Amino acid sequence: MSKFFNAYMIREEDGQRQSSLVQLQEADLPDEEVLVAIQYSGLNYKDGLALCGQGIARRLPMVGGVDLVGEVVDGGSSDFKSGDKVLVNGWGLSELHWGGYSQFQRLKPDWLVRVPENFSELETMAIGTAGYTAMLCVMQLQANGVKPEDGEIVVTGAAGGVGSVAISLLSKLGYHVVASTGRPQTHDYLSALGATDFIDRKSLSEPGKPFQAERWAGGIDTVGDTTLANVLAQSKYQAVITCCGLAGGADLPASVLPFILRGVRLIGVDSVMAPQAIRQKAWDLLDKHLPREKLTELTQVEPMSKLGSLAEDIIAGRIRGRVVIDVN
């Protein structure tokens, strides 16, 4: 381990949050059991919020990055040994605990998942927290009985990270996927991932009637606010809609009518504190169902030095698919 290494840190200067590349030493790292040499982290919407100073980090200074993959350098007295490949999603990284935008990090063994045998380190971060959350949403649709023959599944925020992986998975599983996007220029990309129809983001984001014509058998919503309200209002009898995001806002200006007249089910999805058994299942299913060529298609790799502009881009909805951050 070199004496100094790079990290991307959120700090407060003159009453304002700033994020920048800094140099750290091993002694600066938190007092956690497992030392990991990080290879890649990811860029998630939450990372964008954190780096742009819009909350998330609940103590400062904070090393950003809600996910990471790398190799154990020292496992302490845990079950992890030097050389083991491990990944982390969530668990409060970039909120309460230092995260993945660093060449080295110290982490609790309970947070670590072994890198699934059939994935490269790059692929695990191409999936990242966004893709693992997409899998959690698909698992909820399946667990609640939504089948391909039931009808159309809407994915909102389609060209983003969660949306892109969700479409790839749903399409592979035989579902008819309708992509809601505000970027018509992504239609070819979304078709290649498996979307068969499109709706304009605006048609869902403008306030609509509380009870509308039935269309969706299921949905994966990453946008929230009026978009989710409209999706619920257009849901078919006993449809299942998963809610994981707030790219359009945190409100939910909806009515109870879809729930009490059509038995629509709205299911919240959280990736951050999900128990290990569910994470393991999600990674096993990603291994089984996520087409690798689609993962390559939806991924770009960028250096840590670009995090400032990338964070602004993801908050502004300008990122397509997934961005992996090469921390070295």
Residues that bind ligand NDP (CB under 6 A): 44-46, 129-130, 133, 157-163, 181-183, 201, 205, 222-223, 227, 244-248, 269-272, 314, 317, 319
Q: Decide whether 73 or 272 has the Cβ nearer to ligand NDP.
A: 272
- Quote the DSSP letter at residue 306: G
Residue (17 or 106) nearer to ligand NDP, CB: 17
Instruction: Quote the least distance from Cβ 25 to ligand NDP, whole Å.
Output: 32
Q: Do the beta carbons of residue 25 and residue 4 sit within 8 Å? A: yes
Cβ 262 to ligand NDP shortest distance, Å: 24
Q: Say how many residues make up the chain.
A: 328
d(CA 132, CA 147): 21
Measured CA distances, 268 to 41, 64, 180, 203, 325 (Å): 25, 25, 19, 23, 28
Cα 150 to Cα 214: distance, rounded to the nearest angstrom? 12
Residue nearest to ligand NDP (CB): 160
B/e letters for 136-145, b = 16+ CB within 10 Å, e = fewer, are bbbbbbeeee
Q: In terms of Cα–Cα distance, which of 130, 112, 106 is closest to 42?
A: 130
Provide the minimum distance between the beta carbon of 140 and ligand NDP in the complex, in angstroms, as a whole number: 12
Nearest residue (CB) to ligand NDP, 112 versus 158? 158
Between 46 and 294, name the residue whose CB sits nearer to ligand NDP: 46
Cα dihedral across residues 287, 288, 293, 295: positive or negative: negative
Please state the closest distance from residue 13 (CB atom) to ligand NDP, in A: 26
CB of 198 to ligand NDP, least distance (A): 10
CB 190 within 8 A of CB 179: yes
Q: Tell the smallest beta-carbon distance from residue 228 to ligand NDP (Å).
A: 10
- Return the number of the residue (90 or 258) whose C-beta is nearest ligand NDP: 90
Which residues contact residue 275 at a Cβ distance below 8 angstroms, ignoring those fewer than 6 apart?
Answer: none
Choice between 35 and 138, CB closer to ligand NDP: 138
Residue 252 CB, shortest distance to ligand NDP, in Å, is 13
**Pick 224 or 258: Cβ nearer ligand NDP:** 224
